[in-house]
Amino acid sequence: MNQEFKVSKSRCSEIIRITLPCVLCSGILTIHYADKDPLRAAFLAVIFLYSLYLCIKYIQIRNKPLLIITSQGIVDNYYGFDFIYYSEIQNIELINHKKQNTIKIKIKNINSILQRLNKPQRLLRKLKRQYNKYCIQVPTYLFQEDTEEIFTVLNNAFNEHQQQNN
């Protein structure tokens, strides 16, 4: 692979348009029910915080490609692991679960990737990775490009690197 393949996303703006009203509505309702019904207010506060998190997440990545596939590895802007070398990857799969495709990147040793991050990022990634320690699952619903094409390019680049090192 001689050139970079950038996986953009076209659906971030639509997700922001859906999420932002949720943030506003749940925030207003949380304030409204704060004195009247604390349990409902707590539930709405959770919805508010999660909606706010999603909105911030998509605003952060809207101007960056989700993945950049190079001859040396993958730049991950979705989860924020930055650069993942092919030598750190065990295998790559395309999984279809409930009519939703996901690219599953199984990592040999996640700690080698975490060590390259600063301390706050490392702590955040460790908290998020407790349920799935050695995999990075990239949802494909954000991709503008064809999922099969992205997976083929990624898998070919990974296999090419594997063959060069054997």
**pTM value?**
0.66
Q: What is the mean pLDDT of residues 141-166?
A: 83
Q: Is the pLDDT of residue 61 over 70?
A: no
Q: Is the pLDDT of residue 139 over 80?
A: no
By C-alpha distance, which of 128, 24, 37 is closest to 76? 128
Largest Cα separation within the chain, whole Å, is 67
How sure is the predictor about 2, in pLDDT bands with cuts at 50, 70 and 90? Answer: low
Q: Is the pLDDT of residue 117 over 60?
A: yes
Q: Is the pLDDT of residue 131 over 50?
A: no
- pLDDT score, position 130: 47
Q: Where is mean pLDDT largest: 86-90, 133-137, 140-144, 146-150?
A: 86-90
What is the per-residue burial (b if ≥16 Cβ within 10 Å, else e) of 42-56?
eebbebbeebbebbe
Q: What is the mean pLDDT of residues 23-32?
A: 77
The residues near 164 (Cβ < 8 Å, ≥ 6 apart) are: none
Q: Is the pLDDT of residue 107 over 70?
A: yes
- pLDDT score, position 11: 59
